[in-house]
Amino acid sequence: MELLTAPFEPARRAPPTAIWRPLVGVSLAMLAAVGMGRVLAGPGGLAGEIGLAVQGTALHGGFIAQGLVLALDGHGAWRPAVLRVTGTLLAGFLLSRLSPWGGLALLAVPVVLRRECRGFPVLARIGALGPTRRRHVVIGLAAGVFLGAHLLVTSSRTFGYSVSVPSLAGYATALAYDVGANALSAEWLFRGALFSHWWRRGGFWGAAGTATALSLTRYLLDPALPPTAEARAGALFYLAALSLVGALLRAWSGSLVPGYLAAIAFFAAYRTLVVG
């Protein structure tokens, strides 16, 4: 219980730094790229596919870049690392728009990000480095499987939604998106950089609650969220639970990996749910 009430590294107080300039710069670049992607996506066709790929890259690459800037307090040679990660994201998103199985290229993003982390030992403070014990992996996967199974049972019995995988290629691509972009960027920014930052300066529940609120805001703005009111409410409930579980796993294990695996397991179930 002390773990959940005491701040992480309570005696450590980072000095003021020039963090706001690179953070604002990254955020503006992210918004500009999203806007450019929307313009390209408007007419449709090949330009539209490229526009959608640019939007996906801007969103998830921007989250990873923001998390890296926050974790490094704006210092260090983070720009080349961001360029390599976003380049891998762009390639994956482009291939996903051009080929049924092309999205599997997104599976390379966690590998590239992990390799880039080795150049910044301080990232251990956000749970991005260091070994993960087998029991942490097992508990993380079990938590995600439980939430995913609960979602499927509740949705099928309460709302009559069906569970199926109409297309193996579509399901594999969607899961690769979760592994290489959706779950990865959310864990990195919300449970990694932001949660760790606030936990160092306050208690667990305040940090977890704030990180969860920001994570839900990200999904509320996502056009892929189910359109019906009851489906949106249900999705947000489970996403909030997933975020809190991720924060608990991060605090317990000291690593982002268990929460990341929980998210992947949950979305693996969520992608089989047919709403409507």
46 pLDDT tier (thresholds 50, 70, 90):
confident
Q: Phi, psi at residue 163, to the nearest 5°?
A: -120, 120
247 pLDDT tier (thresholds 50, 70, 90):
very high
Q: How far is Cα 37 from Cα 51, in angstroms, rounded to an integer?
A: 4
9 pLDDT tier (thresholds 50, 70, 90):
low
Which is more confident, 256 or 226? 256
pLDDT-wise least confident of 20-24, 58-62, 106-110, 236-240: 20-24
pLDDT above 50 (res 11):
no
pLDDT above 70 (res 128):
yes
pLDDT above 60 (res 191):
yes
Which is more confident, 11 or 221? 221
- The 10s digit of each residue's pLDDT in 258-267 is 999 999 999 9
217 pLDDT tier (thresholds 50, 70, 90):
very high
How many Cβ atoms sit within 10 Å of the Cβ of residue 173? 22
For the chain, percent of residues with pLDDT exceeding 70: 93
Q: Global pTM?
A: 0.92
Average pLDDT, the chain: 90
Maximum alpha-carbon separation in the chain: 56
DSSP 3-state percent helix, strand, coil across the chain (nearest 5): 75, 0, 20
Segment 10-24 shows an average pLDDT of 66
Q: How far is Cα 54 from Cα 158, in angstroms, rounded to an integer?
A: 38
pLDDT above 90 (res 221):
no
pLDDT above 60 (res 49):
yes
Q: How far is Cα 50 from Cα 97, in angstroms, rounded to an integer?
A: 8
Question: Pick from 111, 90, 259: which is nearest to 189 by CA?
Answer: 259
